[in-house]
Amino acid sequence: MRPFKYTNTNSSSDAINLLIKNPNASYLAGGTNLIDLMKEDVEKPNELIDLTRLALTKIALLPTGQNGISIGALGKNTEAANHPMIREQYPLLSKAILAGASAQIRNMATNGGNLLQRTRCSYFYDTAMPCNKRNPGSGCAAKDGFNRMHAIFGWSEECVAVYPSDMAVALSALDANIKVIQPDGKFRSISIHDFHRLPEQQPELDNTLKRGELISSIELPKNDFANHSAYIKVRDRNSYAFALVSVAAGVVLNGNRIVSAHIAMGGVAHKPWRARKAEALLKGKMATVANFELAAQAEMEQAKPLAQNKFKVAMGKNTIVSALSMATKGT
């Protein structure tokens, strides 16, 4: 690890000003991702601005008129997953968070930090290897290498990495908004769908946050599928492993007829992958396994797997079917 300066503050405007002043400074939240990357010499900030004293930890109802709830960016993953309001109204989020990492890590990890965790591509982590995300222009070692865990949707020649968060997959299905404080002190709200980006020619950019912007909260609009939602994560062991494929599904039902389906996938792209095609096909249809299969099939037909991850196409299809079956059965 390289030497760095450590600063903490309980004022978000101070934090932002400190960051803007030093182009090599980083925000520090739970540190479960950033510190690991610093130990590996992937991230090399020379100053850490600790955010954990900011009063941005609350989980609360949004002001009347804007149905929904707000989750503080500096609150811990564990608290969010176990909060009664989230368990009742957004069980999908709770399940997705609990499917990630381990209890110890979730106790440290913050909701904002989780959104900004970086890919787990092993070439990104190994500084002896080429990686356009870590070192733009050096090439992508994964494209023709060990890419079993990598993307099947939306990748580019420059980068085939996947975004690893489970929480964010649920946030995508829930149409969350990410609220950030800009350097000028004003707030801006970014839809989860526009928050993360595809790699294109700039894989070094994971998301659309601008330098200095600080995530203050995650806002969840009200929905009608709390009792008809499911999160399924397929992985190489039953706990403490990143997803091969995961699916968050919420279904609004009228009797056995689908009013709307909300499906997002993890482990398949550089951002949570919203399965819009499957959703469109399901709208107005009966909730039957046959219909789920048709929709899942249509979604997965768009996939472009790599040499070692062809299995993700069938796995993705099965997991969508499985998640929809579980969601429509209800709780």
Partner 1 sequence: MEEKNKAIGKGVSRIEGILKITGKATYATDYPAKNMAYAVLFKSTIASGTITSLDTSAAEKSQGVLAVITHKNAPKLNLKGGLRGGALLQSPEILFHGQHIGIVVAQSFEQATHAAHLIHVEYQKKEGKTDFDKLLPNAEMPKGKELADLVRGDAKAAFENAAVRVEEIYETPIEHHHPMEPHSTVAVWEGEQLTLYNGSQIINGAQTAAASTLNLKPEQVRIISPFIGGGFGSKGGQWANLVLTAVAAKMVNRPVKLALTRQQMFNSVGLRQRNHQKISLGASKDGILQSLSHQTTSHTAVDSEYLEPCGDCSKIMYEVPNSLISYRVVPMNVILPTYTRGPGKSTGSFALESAMDELAYKLNIDPIELRLKNEPKKDPSNGKPWSSRKVVECLKEGAKAFGWDKRKAEPGTNKIGDDLVGYGVACGTYPARQRDSSAVIKLTKKGNNVNATVEIAASDLGTGTNTILAQTAADGLGLAMENITVKLGDSNLPPAAGSVGSVGAASFANAVNDACTKITDELLAKSGKQFFVRPTAKDLMISENVSAFETRADAKAPTQADQYSAHSFNANFAEVRVNALTGMVKVTRFLAVTGAGRILNPKTARSQIIGGNIWGIGMALSEESIIDPRWGNFATRSFADYHVPTNFDIGKLDAMFINEEDKIPNKMGVKGIGEVGIVGVAAAVANAVFNATGKRIRHLPITPDKLL
Ligand X SMILES: Cc1cc2nc3c(=O)[nH]c(=O)nc-3n(C[C@H](O)[C@H](O)[C@H](O)COP(=O)(O)OP(=O)(O)OC[C@H]3O[C@@H](n4cnc5c(N)ncnc54)[C@H](O)[C@@H]3O)c2cc1C
CB of 235 to partner 1, least distance (A): 7
Identity of the residue, 139 or 183, whose beta carbon is nearer to partner 1 in the bound complex: 139
Place of tokens 């070192």: 135
Identity of the residue, 136 or 139, whose beta carbon is nearer to partner 1 in the bound complex: 139
Reading the block at residue 329, the tokens are: 């059965």
Reading the block at residue 189, the tokens are: 């709200």
- Which stretches within 156-204 are classed as H helix? 167-173, 192-195
Reading the block at residue 326, the tokens are: 């579980």
Identity of the residue, 122 or 297, whose beta carbon is nearer to partner 1 in the bound complex: 122
- Which stretches within 46-200 are classed as H helix? 77-82, 84-89, 91-98, 103-108, 111-115, 122-125, 167-173, 192-195
**Which listed option, ligand X, partner 1, none, makes contact with residue 26 (CB within 5 to 8 Å by class)?**
ligand X
CB of 173 to partner 1, least distance (A): 18
Strand partners, 254: 257
Interaction residues for ligand X, span 16-75 (CB under 6 A): 26-34, 36, 51, 73
State yes or no: residue 263 binds partner 1 (CB under 8 A): no
CB of 308 to partner 1, least distance (A): 9
Identity of the residue, 71 or 96, whose beta carbon is nearer to partner 1 in the bound complex: 96
Q: Which residues contact 111 (CB under 8 A, 6 or more apart)?
A: 71, 72, 73, 74, 75, 76, 77, 80, 167, 218
Instruction: Find the distance separating the first CA and the last CA of the chain, reported in whole Å.
Output: 47
State yes or no: residue 239 binds partner 1 (CB under 8 A): yes
State yes or no: residue 159 binds partner 1 (CB under 8 A): no
State yes or no: residue 193 binds partner 1 (CB under 8 A): no
Please report, as ranges, the residues that interact with ligand X according to CB under 6 A: 26-34, 36, 51, 73, 77, 100-101, 105, 108-110, 112-114, 116-117, 164-167, 214-215, 242
